[in-house]
């Protein structure tokens, strides 16, 4: 097995990447990192005094392969709050090991980040959902059957992290407050993560509905697990870009996912700005 999670080698990979990022950030010491999902890359353009660090300059960071994902970390400020934005994530469906998907998260932890805002595109399962719209992630179901903590414990990680409040209840309350103040519709629900890259079948969606999922996607869970193993609190938003398979006559396409994501990106940016000002 290879990868950033492998014992001491893992620590070296995290430390090496963190060293490069820290040097580029200079005096900027973000405590908040934001991961941008499909169609949501525009949020990175809102960062002021931006320091752009392409993934090819960061040891251990592969080139992102998913369309609609850039490949850079952007340090700077949003609402005068220092932030580190991850524009482009590593998906398991690209063939990346879970440790690679979680590498940026561990790097953030090494840099002193204590709050992780994760975003993604998702299919809507709850029947009242009318995409494109935003969902506040209340909880998740890991159906990737992979976990970035498997293997020797990477220094700094907890072996058996508690997952009873994976998406911090205080941060969620704050997000609901912002949504209300900004008049942004925001439903709260459970995100189910599957490996992908094929979209789900109608039978799979019926199963997901029965086990309590409100939205389905192919990301986020490895990062949130890695974050919880470091005590980082998480806040998650899904841009529900389409009705899940079988719930409408429409066929699913990644291009539509990207387009629908762009339609709610402005709302997402306002939500994130509102949360940052209230932290």
* Active centre residues (catalytic): 38, 69, 91, 93-94, 121, 218-219, 242, 254
Shorter beta-carbon distance to ligand HPA: residue 254 or 273: 254
Residue 237 touches ligand HPA, criterion: CB under 6 A: no
The CA distances from residue 123 to 8, 203, 218, in Å, are 38, 14, 10
DSSP for 126-193 reads STT--SSEEEEEEEEEEES---TT-SSPPTT--SS---SSSB-HHHHHHHHHHHHHHT--EEEEEEEE
Shorter beta-carbon distance to ligand HPA: residue 241 or 267: 241
Residue 242 touches ligand HPA, criterion: CB under 6 A: yes
Out of 105, 115, 241, 267, point to the residue binding ligand HPA (CB under 6 A). Answer: 241
C-alpha–C-alpha distance, residues 77 and 98, integer Å: 29
Q: Per-residue contact track with ligand HPA, 64 to 103, x per CB under 6 A? A: ----------------------------------------
Out of 83, 218, 232, 271, point to the residue binding ligand HPA (CB under 6 A). Answer: 218
Residue pair 229/158 in contact (Cβ under 8 Å)? The answer is yes
Residue 141 touches ligand HPA, criterion: CB under 6 A: no
**Shortest Cβ distance from residue 21 to ligand HPA (Å)?**
28
C-alpha–C-alpha distance, residues 174 and 233, integer Å: 13
Residue 217 touches ligand HPA, criterion: CB under 6 A: yes
Residue 125 touches ligand HPA, criterion: CB under 6 A: no
Nearest Cα to Cα of residue 70 among 97, 43, 96 = 43
Q: What is the dihedral of CA 228, 16, 36, 163, to 10 degrees?
A: -10
**Shortest Cβ distance from residue 39 to ligand HPA (Å)?**
9
Shorter beta-carbon distance to ligand HPA: residue 110 or 242: 242
Q: Per-residue contact track with ligand HPA, 153 to 192, x per CB under 6 A? A: ----------------------------------------
Q: How many other CB atoms sit within 10 Å of the CB of residue 138?
A: 16
Out of 75, 123, 189, 222, point to the residue binding ligand HPA (CB under 6 A). Answer: 123
3-state DSSP percent of the chain in helix, strand and coil, to 5: 35, 25, 40
The footprint of ligand HPA (CB under 6 A) covers: 121-123, 199-200, 216-218, 241-242, 244, 252, 257
């Amino acid at each position: 097995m290879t990868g950033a999670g492998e014992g001491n080698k893992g620590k070296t990979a995290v430390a090496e990447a963190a060293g490069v990022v820290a040097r580029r950030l200079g005096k900027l010491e973000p405590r908040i990192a934001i991961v941008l999902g499909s169609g949501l890359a525009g949020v990175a353009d809102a960062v002021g005094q931006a320091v752009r660090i392409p993934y090819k300059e960061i040891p251990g960071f592969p080139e992102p392969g998913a369309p609609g994902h850039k490949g850079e970390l952007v340090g700077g400020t949003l609402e005068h709050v220092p932030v580190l934005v991850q524009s482009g994530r590593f998906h398991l469906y690209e063939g990346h090991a879970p440790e690679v998907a979680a590498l940026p998260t561990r790097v953030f932890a090494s840099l002193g980040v204590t709050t992780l805002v994760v975003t993604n595109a998702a299919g809507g399962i709850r029947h009242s959902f009318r995409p494109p719209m935003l969902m506040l992630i209340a909880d998740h179901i890991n159906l990737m059957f992979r976990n970035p903590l498997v293997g020797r414990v990477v220094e700094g990680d907890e072996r058996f992290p508690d997952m009873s409040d994976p998406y911090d209840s205080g941060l969620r309350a704050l997000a609901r407050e912002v949504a209300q103040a900004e008049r942004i519709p925001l439903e709260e629900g459970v995100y189910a993560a599957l490996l992908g890259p094929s979209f789900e079948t109608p039978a799979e969606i019926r199963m997901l509905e029965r086990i309590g999922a409100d939205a389905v996607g192919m990301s986020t869970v490895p990062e949130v697990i890695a974050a919880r193993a470091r005590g980082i609190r998480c806040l998650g938003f899904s841009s529900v870009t389409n009705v899940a398979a079988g719930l409408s006559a429409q066929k699913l396409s990644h291009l539509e996912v990207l387009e629908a994501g762009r339609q709610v990106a402005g709302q997402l940016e306002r939500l994130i700005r509102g949360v940052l000002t209230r932290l």
